[in-house]
Amino acid sequence: MKHLKSALQFLTILPLGSSEPFDTRRIIPYFPLVGLVVGFLLAIFDRATSIFWPRPAVAAMDVVFLAAVTGAFHLDGLADAADGMMGHRSRERALEIMKDSRVGAMGLVTVVCCLMIKWAGLMTVHAHHRFLILMLIPAYARSGMLFGMRALPYGRPGGTAFAFFENPLQNEDFRWMLLLAAGSLFLGWRGLWLNLAFGMALTAILLYYRKRMGCITGDMLGAMTELTETILFLMLSAGWMS
């Protein structure tokens, strides 16, 4: 529970008491559970707001809720990663730009596009199993960070996220993903599609990172979380799935 609390304090703004020093390496396996907590709160929020507002307004508020509960932590990484990697800059120049706290035009456009697509996905996710879908997708998105840490080396030795990469992840660190896989079984064939879409999205993002940068950073992990979440909401809202 101590490490789960630390992971929640790291990835969200939930009021969980005073923050204490935490073991960076030992909170990583709990990222999927943090996603489940975020997803559960999102599903409750979605159900409550649906009583008073129509679906488009609820979807917009869901997007705001996801950004707020994480303190826009991953959106900031998405903006920085887009500013650095989009274009024909060298790897070194891209890393330098990502380190700059200012947001450029490419980062702003990418964030806006991502939020618009996420809104479209949330608005059209079918009502059947909607609560469970809203719970699982944020959890799958945050699980993706574990694969990013496992697949690619850290690109900025001594950087703020270096502690997450000092010791390689082991198979047991992915244990909580079994809970997500079990939960997806309750979606029937949609659960199979969720896992397939997650695998395809994650593979595509990591292959792009490998080809473009040959490494990964904290900003790129945040970008991967946002992109995966957006893709999954969009894929599970496809008309042929209703």
Is residue 85 in a domain? yes
CA distance 7 to 33: 9
Cβ within 8 Å of residue 33, ≥6 positions away:
4, 7, 139, 176, 179
Residue 241 is predicted with a pLDDT of 58
Closest Cα to residue 75, out of 25, 123, 110?
110
pTM, two decimals, is: 0.94
Is residue 20 in a domain? yes
Kindly report the backbone phi and psi dihedral angles of residue 84, in degrees, each rounded to the nearest multiple of 5, phi listed first. Answer: -80, -45
Total domains, the chain? 1
Residue 242 is predicted with a pLDDT of 53
Residue 88 is predicted with a pLDDT of 83
Instruction: Please state, in angstroms and as integers, the Cα–Cα distance from residue 214 to each residue in 85, 134, 233, following that order.
Output: 12, 33, 28
Is residue 186 in a domain? yes
Query: What's the Rg (C-alpha) of the chain?
Result: 17
Residue 23 is predicted with a pLDDT of 80
Residue 35 is predicted with a pLDDT of 97
Is residue 163 in a domain? no
Is residue 164 in a domain? no
Amino acid at position 192, single letter: L
CB 107 within 8 A of CB 79: yes
Question: Range of 13's domain?
Answer: 2-156+170-241
Give 3-state DSSP helix, strand, coil % of the chain, rounded to 5.
75, 0, 25
- Residue ranges in the chain modelled with pLDDT below 70: 19-20, 239-242
Burial class (CB in 10 A: 0-12, 13-18, 19+), 171: exposed
CA distance 29 to 137: 17
Is residue 130 in a domain? yes
Residue 239 is predicted with a pLDDT of 59
Is residue 133 in a domain? yes
Instruction: Please state, in angstroms and as integers, the Cα–Cα distance from residue 93 to each residue in 45, 106, 130, 148, following that order.
Output: 41, 15, 43, 21
Residue 154 is predicted with a pLDDT of 93
Residue 137 is predicted with a pLDDT of 97
Is residue 63 in a domain? yes
